[in-house]
Structure 1
Amino acid sequence: MNRRHCASAAITLVCALSVLITPVQALAAPTPPSPTTTGAPKKTLEEVRQEIDALYRKAGAATDAYNLAEERAEKQSTEIVKLARSIVVGQAKIAELKEQAGAQAREQYRSGGLPPGAQLMLSDDPQLFLDGVSRIREGQQATQGVLGELTRTQQDLETYTKDASINWKKLEAGRVKQAKAKKRINEQIAAAKKLESRLKKEERARLLKLEEAAAYQQQTAWLSSGALKDINREASARGKKAVAFATSQIGKPYVWGAEGPDSYDCSGLTSQAWAAAGRPIPRTSQEQWRLLPRIAVKDMRPGDLIIYHSDASHVGMYVGDGAIVHSPRPGRNVTLAGAGSMQILGVVRPDK
């Protein structure tokens, strides 16, 4: 069952159980500034490159927000389905317990409506008296047990219903975040593509050369700084599997929100690579940075993940020899690049 069907099933099941939810309305995402201004001086190709790069980085950050909201929505949908099933079971149990309590009441009515103790005192048979005492105690314990279980089940049912309502509100809030993030992603990518579309063919070729030159310059400066003295450490067994998976995806296109098998975004590639190695990790680059063990850059080994930019909006997998494999941005394919070709925030190790 895919995510949309899972969410749909959860909605149908909970609504059928009359879980009242307060709807959450989405707010319009802010519109990014126009990439060009009428009458402004013509920008240099390098300025255009930097503007395009900034737009794609903003799209990457919004993609992370989208992916995180989607991941949480999936978990909340699953939880809602579990709670809804618990509610159904609880309602059936309450009906059963009420039937037992009713049967006991009917039995008392058939015995003449007298309390068991009064009926016992009217007996002049000693043996019947002793047998009656035992039955009264058993009956009282049974009645108390039924009533106690009924109370506990009703309390559980109230808790399940409250939790389902809370999770539903979180799910709706998550959908609002997803919608806003999706709007921002599409706006930023559209703005970047619009800038590129205005360039002539030879300018686009020069733009690509400028991108490569900027990456090479950053990589050279990084290596020259001595940040990475030993670039050929041995990967762990799982790290080797993760690297093998990631490098086998080279040439596949970047698609935001994609987790394979035909396309990937940056964290979709790294999370799937480590899943293939038997070590599930968080879906987004920001969560990978927040939750996975951090190590020093000088201690990197193949399979480690390098997190980029101050907002942790990009991630690549270190493959050794000062290189990473990553899914760069819309319009590009999974490729090898210099590990220092972008601003490094830090390094995490999934299998530490």
Structure 2
Amino acid sequence: MNRRHCATAAIVLVCALTVLASPGQAFAAPEPPASATTPAAKKSLEQVRLELDALYRRASSATDAYNLAEDQADKQSAEIVKLAQEIVKGQARIDDLKNRAGAAARAQYRDGGLPAGAQLILTDDPQLFLDGAGRIRQSQKATKDLLGELTRTQTDLASYTKDASTQWKKLEANRVKQAKAKKDIEDRIAEAKKIEDKLEKEERARLLLLEQQAEYKAQTAWLSSGALKDIGGKASEQGKKAVKFATAQIGKPYVWGAEGPKSYDCSGLTSQAWSAAGKGIPRTSQEQWRLLPRIAVKDMRPGDLIIYHADASHVGMYIGDGAIVHAPRPGRNVTIAGAGSMAILGVVRPDK
């Protein structure tokens, strides 16, 4: 049996076991009887599934926006701290330079207030004159260097202050983005939960079956296209570690914005898995798609990240044999799914 048939059989088995393990499940998904007390009176379960899918997709996209804003805010906060430290050091340096300039002025006052050049002219000792001339040149150079350093330090201080102000404005802007994204996430999830809460227990079970059937149909179509035929790359050592970490999280709940250890969102799982493998990668699926090296689907190997949907709002980790491990959405746990069960945008490789 070739790899593609093995993978197809594995996916069929997973789906079959899932269906059989669900209490009260039938092998078909008939529409529920019309009832004035359920949403099915107006919408079919398939329509409800599509509506929920759209809501959770919007929540996922907003989650990416939230995570990106949070990541940028953290970096800007760290930059502001660094700039503040530079400002403190710069001010201390200016104070030191001013003290040294003041000491030189006080020394001149103690010498009667006459400049060194004037005192030199008054001497009638040739050797003292020559020695004095050398000291004057050294003193003039020291004064020039002192003033130059003071000017440069003042310029640096002004630059640090300006940069800190810019970073502060960016930080505040990202906090506004975070707040907006958070509200959007919570609104979408609340809307979806409201729909799900109106479903009867049997309807929820059939809805889950519809989700599984849709995923299986997409996966079967992907496998039938021959996509898996040329895929046979072996995982790198880091890739093996990333896969091991990600699969160890199976069963933990999806929570938006979460990076473990008890729960994850989709990119929280992939970023933490690669971090555990010793490779830092961007926090969000959209940034992973934008910044990580892209490869062809036929060249992917375990550990690579598959980015989904046109807006790159979801990510899963390829684990081989046509499967991924991912954190699907609110209300679901980290699980294994078919790599082709969603619309693939592309593949990226963190350790390329």
Counterpart CA distance in 1 for 2:186 and 2:219 is: 30
Aligned position for 1:241: 241
Question: Rg: which structure is higher?
Answer: 2
Q: CA deviation at 1:40?
A: 12
How far apart in 2 are the matches of 1:40 and 1:220?
28
Give how far 1:233 is off.
2.7
Q: What is the aligned-residue identity percentage?
A: 77
Aligned partners of 1:252, 1:151: CA distance in 2, in Å? Answer: 58
Distance in 2 between residues matched to 1:157 and 1:234, nearest whole Å: 53
Question: Which residue of structure 2 aligns with residue 75 of structure 1?
Answer: 75
Shift of 1:230: 3.5
Q: Distance in 2 between matches of 1:300 and 1:143?
A: 65
**3-state DSSP of counterpart to 1:307:** strand
Unpaired segments ≥5 residues, structure 1: 1-38
Alignment partner, residue 23 of structure 1:
none
Give the Cα separation in 1 of the matches to 2:77 and 2:98: 32
Task: Note the C-alpha offset of 1:231.
Answer: 4.2
For each residue in 1:310-346, what CA deviation from the matched residue of structure 2 results, as whole angstroms up to 9, or x when unmatched? 0000000000010000000001000000000000000
CA deviation map 1:138-187 (0-9, x unaligned):
11111111111110100000000000000000000000000000000000
- The corresponding residue for 1:161 is 161
Number of residue equivalences: 314
Bigger mean CA deviation after superposition, 204-213 or 226-235: 226-235
- SS of residue matched to 1:316: strand
Per-residue Cα deviation, 1:269-292 (whole angstroms, up to 9, x for no partner)? 000111111111100000000011
**Structure 2 residue ranges without an equivalent (≥5):** 1-38
Determine the structure 2 residue equivalent to 1:54. 54
Q: Does 2:305 match 1:302?
A: no
Q: Which runs of 4+ in 1 moved over 4 A?
A: none
CA distance in 2, matches of 1:45, 1:337: 22
Please state whether the residue corresponding to 2:324 is helix, strand or coil: strand
Please give the per-residue CA displacement for 1:243-271, whole angstroms capped at 9, x wherever unaligned: 00000000000000001111000000000
Q: Which moved more, 1:150-159 or 1:221-230?
A: 221-230
**Residue in structure 2 matched with residue 173 of structure 1 by the alignment:** 173
SS of the equivalent of 1:258 reads coil
Residues 1:112 and 2:112 are matched in the alignment: yes
TM-score using structure 1 length: 0.88
> Does the 8 A contact of 2:56 with 2:329 survive in 1?
yes
* Distance (Å, rounded) in 2 between the aligned partners of 1:123 and 1:41: 113
1:41 deviation in Å?
Answer: 7.1
1:326 and 2:326 equivalent? Answer: yes
Tell me the secondary structure at the aligned position of residue 87 of structure 1: helix
1:92-107 alignment runs, 5 A limit: 92-107=92-107
Contact 2:305 2:317 in 1 (8 A): yes
Taking the aligned partners of 1:149 and 1:209, their CA distance within structure 2 comes to: 74
In the alignment, the residues of structure 1 paired with residue 233 and residue 152 of structure 2 have an alpha-carbon distance, to the nearest angstrom, of 59
Is the deviation greater in 232-241 or in 298-307?
232-241
Q: Take 2:343 and 2:284, find their aligned partners in 1: how far apart are those partners? A: 18
- Provide the residue aligned with 2:132 in structure 1: 132
CA contact (8 A) 2:120 2:133 kept: yes
Q: Distance in 2 between matches of 1:198 and 1:143?
A: 82
Q: Determine the structure 2 residue equivalent to 1:273.
A: 273
Structure 1 residue matching 2:227: 3-state secondary structure: coil
2:200 match: 200
Bigger shift: residues 226-235 or 45-54: 226-235
State the Cα RMSD in Å.
Answer: 1.2
Letter in 2 for 1:161: T
1:210 aligns with 2:210: yes
Kindly provide the CA deviation profile for residues 169-214 of structure 1, in whole angstroms up to 9, marking residues without a partner as x: 0000000000000000000000000000011111111000000000
